[in-house]
Amino acid sequence: MAITNLLFAVLAWTGKSEILFAIAVIADDITAAFATVAFVAFISLLVDRTYTATQYALLASIGTAGRTTLASSSGALVDWLNGDWGTFFVLTTIMVIPSLLCLWLIKNKIKIGEK
């Protein structure tokens, strides 16, 4: 999903292109849909059947808290970068690396189908 941000960076650096814009938006929407399905499946794997609603609501809120709080400051970051949207989108791609490393580290700790 983060790699689609690179398409927006290319768009920012190359100028107006309706085709590239359409490709970037379509790719972003498709990868966002896949990410949402993976996120729901991951949370569903973690919750206990007895407390499903409470745990799911809590985990979903925690999972989206970063996106909600950090998105509000993105305009300030672009201002700090002197309006360089290309660099902004590259930075947002790089910002995903720590979470991918965390997922890679916990992949063997999650037991699927075990109680």
Judge whether 17 lies within some domain. yes
Enclosing domain of residue 33: 3-106
- The winner for highest mean pLDDT among 37-46, 80-89, 102-111 is 80-89
Residue 15 resides in a domain: yes
Residue 88 has pLDDT above 90, yes or no: yes
Tell me the CB-side half-sphere exposure of residue 43, using CA atoms within 13 A. Answer: 19
Query: What pLDDT does 110 receive?
Result: 75
pLDDT at 115: 53
Contact 77, 88 (CB under 8 A): yes
115 falls within a domain: no
- Asked whether residue 112 is domain-assigned, the answer is no
Distance, CA of 34 to CA of 99 (rounded, Å):
17
Q: What is the rounded CA–CA span in Å between residue 3 and residue 54?
A: 33
- Domain total in the chain: 1
Q: Is residue 42 part of a domain?
A: yes
pLDDT in tens, 10-45: 999 998 999 999 999 999 999 999 988 988 888 888
Q: What percent of the chain has pLDDT over 90?
A: 41
Please give the Cα distance from 93 to 6 (Å, whole number): 7
| pTM for this entry | 0.76
